[in-house]
A and B are shown apart, each in its own frame.
Chain A
Amino acid sequence: MAWLRKLVGAAVVLGGAAAAAGWVLSAPARLDAGTVAQLGPGDAAKGKRIFYAGGCTSCHAKPGAQGDARLQLVGGLELKTPFGTFVPPNISQDRKDGIGGWSEEDFANAMLKGVSPSGEHFYPAFPYASYARMKPADIADLYAFMKTLPAVAGKAPDHKLSFPFAIRRGIGLWKLLYLSPEPVIALPGGTPDKVLAGRYLVEGPGHCGECHTPRDFAGGVKKGQWLAGAVAAEGSGVVPNITPQGGTKDWSEADIANYLETGFTPDFDSVGGAMVDVQRNMAQLTADDRAAIAAYLKAVPPHPNGYPARKPAS
C-alpha cells in the first residue's frame, strides 16, 4: 500500500501548493507609490463633476431620497443579484459609520484597487473594475468634494451572499481576471479628443458597461460584447444595447446628448428604470461632457443585443 500513501501524499502536497498559490494570488494589492504620488491635493469644485459622472448617489443615497437628501450617502439600498443581495455601505463623512476617517490614499485604494483601508477586498458590485480606469488626479478631486458632504451616522446592513461568493478572499482571483486600468476599446491614433474624452467618461467614472454589458458566469464583464445590453443583473427586465447596432442606432449624437440632459428620447419616450438616476446625474455634467459621451457611443464596435429576444406575448 506504499503507492497509495505516496499518491495521497502527492495529492496533499499538490493541493497544499495550489491552496498556497491561490492564497498568494488572491492577496489584496494596494496602489504602488508612483500612483499614490500622482494623487496630489484635490480640488473640491472639480470633484463635483466627477462625483456626478461616477453616479455615487445612485447607490449610496438613502433609498428614495430626493433633492439635497441625495447627498447624504448613508447607503442601505438593496441590490438583489444572482450572487445574493449587495447593500451599498455608508460612504458619508461620518468617522465611525462612513468614510470620514479615510485618508486620500485609502480612498484611492478603494476606487482603483477595490481594497479597503483594513486590507480587505470589496465586492465588485462597487464598480471599481470601471473606476480603475480613472486618472489619479480625478480621484483626488472626488475625495476633496466628498469631504464637503455631510456626515451621517448609521451603518447599512451587511451583504447577504451565498457560497462561494461569501468568501471575500476569492475576489482576489476575480481581480486577476477582470481588474485592469487599460481602456476596453482600443482607439486608433488620430481619434478625435472628443471621442477619447467620451471613452474616459463612459469606461471610467460613468461605469456604463457595468449594466449595459452582459457578464460571464463569474460576474465579469464580457468585453467582446461591450455595451451590447444585458439582462438586468439587478431587478427585472433588460438593459438596452447602446452600441451603434442597438436601439439607439438611429439616434444622432445630439439626440444622445439631449437624452442625457433632459431624459427624453428622440421619439419622446422618457428615461426609465435605473437609468433615471443616471440621467439626472448626467444632467449635472457639462454639455461638452455629454457630447463626448455621445461621440464615443457612436465610435464603439456594433454588436447584436446581448440579451435574448423578447418572448411573444402570451
Chain B
Amino acid sequence: MRKLVLAISMLAFAGSVAFADPIKDRQALMKERGKLAGQLSKVVKGEEDFDAAAVLTTLKALQANAEKWDAEKLFPAGSDKGDTTAAPKIWEDKAGFNAAEDKLLADVKAAVASPPADVDALKAQLNTIGGDCGTCHQTYRIKKS
C-alpha cells in the first residue's frame, strides 16, 4: 500500500513537471486577475451593491494573485512561441516588464492598506489598477486574433 501511494505520488509529480506549461500558468493567473477586477467593476458600475467587506476580500485576493507572479518562471526563454499573445518586448525589456508588474502590486497593496469606504473611493482605486493593466498590455502584449 505504501509503495502504491509512493508510486502514485511520484507519477503525479513527474506528470506535473512534464506538463508544466508556463503559457497556461500565466494565462490562468491573468484570467483570475481579470475575474477579480471584474467583480470590483460590477460594484463600480452599480450592478452590485457596495459591500466594504466583500470588496476588501476581493482586493486581498487580487493582492494574493499579484504576489504569485514570478516573471522568471512564467515567462522563461522560448515561451514567446506557441499559443500566446506575449510580445517579444517582454524578453527584450525585462526591467520595464517587471516594473509594470511591480506597479500593479504596489497599487493593489495600497488599496488593501486603505480599503475603500464607498463606491467613489473604489472607483478611483480601480481606475489606477485598470490603468496598470493597460500600461502593461500596451507594450507587452500583441493581439493576434
**Mask of A220-242 contacts with B, CB within 8 angstroms, 1/0:** 00000000000000011111100
A264 x B130 contact (CB < 8 A): yes
Q: How large is the interface on B (under 10, 10 to 19, 20 to 34, 35 or more residues)?
A: 20 to 34
B137 x A270 contact (CB < 8 A): yes
* Contacts known (A276-B135, A276-B138, A313-B83); A268 close to B144, Cβ less than 8 A: no
B138 x A314 contact (CB < 8 A): no
A238 x B34 contact (CB < 8 A): no
CB B85 to nearest CB in A, in angstroms, measures 8
Per DSSP, chain B at the interface is helix
Complex-state Cα separation, A272 to B87, whole angstroms = 11
* Contacts known (A267-B34, A268-B37); A273 close to B144, Cβ less than 8 A: no
Q: Which residue of A lies closest to B143 (CB)?
A: A237
* Number of CB contacts from chain A to chain B under 8 A: 69
Complex-state Cα separation, A271 to B134, whole angstroms = 5
Complex-state Cα separation, A264 to B35, whole angstroms = 11
Give chain B interface residues in 10-56, CB to chain A under 8 Å: 34-35, 37-38, 41, 44-45
B145 at the interface (CB under 8 A from A): yes
Give chain A interface residues in 39-86, CB to chain B under 8 Å: none
A277 at the interface (CB under 8 A from B): yes
A262 x B127 contact (CB < 8 A): yes
A116 at the interface (CB under 8 A from B): no
Residues of A within 8 A of B133 (CB): 263-264, 270-271
Residues of A within 8 A of B144 (CB): 237-238, 310
CB B106 to nearest CB in A, in angstroms, measures 16
A270 x B143 contact (CB < 8 A): no
B76 at the interface (CB under 8 A from A): no
A26 at the interface (CB under 8 A from B): no
Q: Which of B35, B131, B137, B138 has a CB less than 8 Å from the CB of A268? A: B35
CB B68 to nearest CB in A, in angstroms, measures 18
B143 x A276 contact (CB < 8 A): no
Complex-state Cα separation, A262 to B137, whole angstroms = 14
Per DSSP, chain A at the interface is loop
B82 x A314 contact (CB < 8 A): yes
B83 x A240 contact (CB < 8 A): no
A32 at the interface (CB under 8 A from B): no
Residues of A within 8 A of B85 (CB): 237
Q: Which residue of A lies closest to B23 (CB)?
A: A313
A243 at the interface (CB under 8 A from B): no
* Contacts known (A238-B145, A239-B143, A276-B135); A263 close to B130, Cβ less than 8 A: yes
Residues of B within 8 A of A276 (CB): 134-135, 137-138
Q: Which of B34, B37, B137 has a CB less than 8 Å from the CB of A273? A: B137
CB A256 to nearest CB in B, in angstroms, measures 14
Give chain A interface residues in 248-262, CB to chain B under 8 Å: 258, 262
A90 at the interface (CB under 8 A from B): no
Residues of A within 8 A of B135 (CB): 276
A273 x B141 contact (CB < 8 A): yes
Residues of B within 8 A of A267 (CB): 34, 38
A93 at the interface (CB under 8 A from B): no
Complex-state Cα separation, A279 to B133, whole angstroms = 12
Q: Which of B34, B126, B142 has a CB less than 8 Å from the CB of A269? A: B34
Residues of B within 8 A of A273 (CB): 137-138, 141-143
Chain A positions within 8 Å of B, measured between CB atoms, are 235-240, 258, 262-264, 267-274, 276-277, 279-280, 309-310, 313-314
